[in-house]
Structure formats: C-alpha cells, structure tokens
C-alpha cells in the first residue's frame, strides 16, 4: 500500500469533526508524553482555530509543553487538559515557531507559570508589520469572541542555536538546525526517548507551507532530522509518526514536495511567466509530476500560495548566482 493511500485512511479521523474542547483530542503517545491533535483544515469559526498540534511531557518535577495553539482560549483549554493528567508545575513551553496557530495561546501558558522558549526571530516577527496584519486577518475569520484575550507575547528565553534543559531526570534538547519553514524554527529532541518534536518542518499528509522561510535550507534541515534517526516524530500538524522507516518516508515525502515545487517554479520562471501565471499553473504542473498530490488535504489551496512565494525566493537565488 502506498504511503499516500495509508494517509488517506488516517486523514478523515483528523478532518472529520471539530471538538468543543481541546481535551477531546488528547492522546498518550508514549508513557508521560501527550498530544492534542488539531483538525486538518484551514482556520475557520467551526474549528475555532484548532488546526495545529500541541504536546506535553510530564516528568516527576514538572511539565514541558511544546506549542501553544491558536488563541488564548485554546491555550487555556490546553492548560486545563494538562491539569487532567498532573498537578505538577508547568515549567517550560517551547514555541517551535512564531506562526499564529502555534503561539497565539502563549499567554495562557505564561499565566500557568511556564517559561516560554523560542528563537529570537520571534521578536523580530512580533515587531514586523506582518504580525499585525496576520492578527487582523485572524480576527476577521474567528471574530472577537473566539480571539478574546489573545495577546502576541514574545518568549522569555531565546536561542538561535542549541540549549539543553534538565528537569525531573530528563534531558530536553532544543535545536535550531537552519532556516526552513520560517527563519526561526526550533525542534525539541528527547535523547533518551528518541522523540523529536519537529514543529512544521515535517508535514504528515498535508502540503507544507513555504511562504515564510527558506525552501533551499529547509532541505538541509530535513537531512539533520534524518541523522537524529528519531523513533517517534511529532509534527505541528497531522498524525504523529511512529517508527524509523515511517518517519524516513515522511521526511523524504516533505523533501520531495519541496524539490518538485522548486523545479516547477524555477522552470516556469526561466520560461518567462510572471508570478500570477506561475501561481495559476502550479497545481497542474505539480499533478503532472505526481497525480497523488491531488489527494493531500489543502493541496489545491496551499500549493499556489507556495508557488507565489517561491517565485520570489527563486528569483533572489538566481540573482545571487549571477
């Protein structure tokens, strides 16, 4: 059975219905390691913005959280969900990257006492016009009620390379491998458990978003992930990946998508098409390479947007090469 067909069996489980509370999507992935899995959709009122995953690891001294979900409300539900498993303090929260669906719930984790960790790019992002624009766009979609209390808060601690944290006899390694999905992606690696919390660097069964990082160095990130050889990979969206072979396949799948769309956009660019035409042709060109792309959730919506951003990235690369 091809991996795409396998994913198609799993996908409906995530895209089927929108939970009323984050805790309805709680699963224990490994002893003491929990995830709440968002719906496989674009943000809308019905899913309340719960379209990404968050995770938490319970140690004997406290809790380590990965990502904060899309709104203050959802962040509070995440804290309530953690409280169904432990009364120990929530000590740390790593934000894998400053995209709306991963950090808008930060306030709730800070109120719960967590030290927030992210890449320093997050501060740059918060000061940019883009962050204000994104906030207004989210407000337009979700409305005041669902967005109530959401504040754009930066991290307490930032790293642009690596750091290790010891808590409850466990080591938590935070790494920035390279610019990929954004300019400031961090991953969390737990060496003893061999679990990698990969943020949006690896997408399982969903088209990766290429609009705010660097697709060329993203491919290098994926090589580093393969070198770690995780036994479980927990992505920012979609199904947790279990087993080295399955993980390798998904990492390669993400790499192949990026390589394919880079090839398509570069060729169309060289043929002289403007950005709007490249965007318009992107889906058919990708389907010519691999018809199975059509079966991926949000392919038809996200792929043209990726082509749009890549057009400028590839133009910059070509200018630099001259």
Site residues (CB under 5 A) for Zn ion?
Answer: 99, 200
CA distance 273 to 269: 6
Smaller CB separation from Zn ion, 63 or 153: 153
In the complex, minimum distance from the CB of residue 216 to Zn ion, in angstroms, rounded to a whole number? 18
Residue (66 or 268) nearer to Zn ion, CB? 66
Nearer to Zn ion, 99 or 138 (CB): 99
Could you tell me the smallest distance in angstroms from the CB atom of residue 125 to Zn ion? Answer: 12
Contact 153, 110 (CB under 8 A): yes
Distance CA 202, CA 221 (A): 10
Contacts of 296 (CB under 8 A, 6+ apart): 4, 7, 205, 206, 207
Q: Which is nearer to Zn ion, 56 or 98 (CB)?
A: 98
CB of 208 to Zn ion, least distance (A): 9
Closest to 116 in 3D by CA, of 144, 77, 88, 151: 151
- Three-state SS at 152: coil
Closest distance of CB 73 from Zn ion, Å:
20
Q: Give the residue closest to Zn ion by C-beta.
A: 99
Q: Which is nearer to Zn ion, 67 or 285 (CB)?
A: 67
Q: How far is the CB of 122 from Zn ion (least distance, A)?
A: 12
Taking the complex as a whole, how short is the minimal distance between the CB of residue 99 and Zn ion, in angstroms?
3
Residue 32 and residue 26: Cα distance in Å, rounded?
12
- How far apart, in Å, are the Cα atoms of 81 and each of 36, 104, 223, 251, 259? 9, 17, 34, 30, 39
Nearer to Zn ion, 48 or 99 (CB): 99
d(C-alpha 186, C-alpha 172), whole Å: 12
DSSP state of 89: -
Whether 179 and 212 have beta carbons less than 8 Å apart is answered as no
């Amino acid at each position: 059975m091809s991996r795409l067909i396998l994913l198609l069996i799993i996908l409906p489980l995530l895209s089927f219905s929108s939970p009323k509370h984050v805790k309805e999507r709680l699963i224990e992935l490994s002893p003491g390691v929990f995830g709440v899995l968002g719906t496989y959709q674009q943000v809308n009122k019905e899913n309340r913005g719960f379209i990404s995953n968050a995770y938490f690891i319970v140690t004997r001294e406290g809790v380590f959280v990965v990502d904060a979900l899309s709104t203050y409300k959802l962040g509070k539900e995440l804290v309530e969900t953690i409280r169904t498993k432990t009364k120990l303090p929530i000590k740390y929260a790593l934000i894998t990257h400053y995209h709306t669906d991963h950090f808008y719930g930060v306030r709730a984790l800070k109120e719960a006492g967590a030290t927030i960790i992210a890449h320093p790019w997050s501060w740059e992002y918060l000061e940019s016009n883009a962050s204000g624009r994104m906030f207004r766009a989210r407000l337009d979609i979700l409305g005041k009620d669902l967005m109530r209390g959401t504040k754009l808060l930066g991290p307490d601690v930032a790293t642009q390379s690596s750091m290790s944290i010891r808590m409850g006899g466990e080591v938590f390694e935070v790494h920035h491998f390279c610019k990929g999905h954004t300019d400031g992606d961090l991953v969390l690696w737990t060496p003893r458990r061999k679990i990698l919390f990969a943020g949006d660097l690896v997408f399982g069964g969903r088209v990766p978003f290429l609009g705010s990082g660097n697709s060329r160095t993203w491919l290098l990130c994926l090589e580093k992930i393969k070198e770690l050889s995780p036994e479980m990979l927990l992505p920012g969206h979609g199904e947790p990946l279990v087993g080295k072979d399955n993980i390798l396949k998904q990492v390669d799948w993400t790499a192949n998508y990026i390589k394919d769309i880079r090839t398509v956009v570069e060729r169309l660019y060289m043929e002289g098409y403007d950005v709007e035409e490249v965007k318009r042709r992107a889906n058919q060109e990708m389907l010519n390479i691999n018809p199975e792309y059509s079966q991926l959730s949000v392919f038809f919506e996200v792929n043209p947007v990726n082509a749009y951003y890549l057009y400028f990235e590839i133009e910059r690369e070509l200018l630099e090469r001259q």
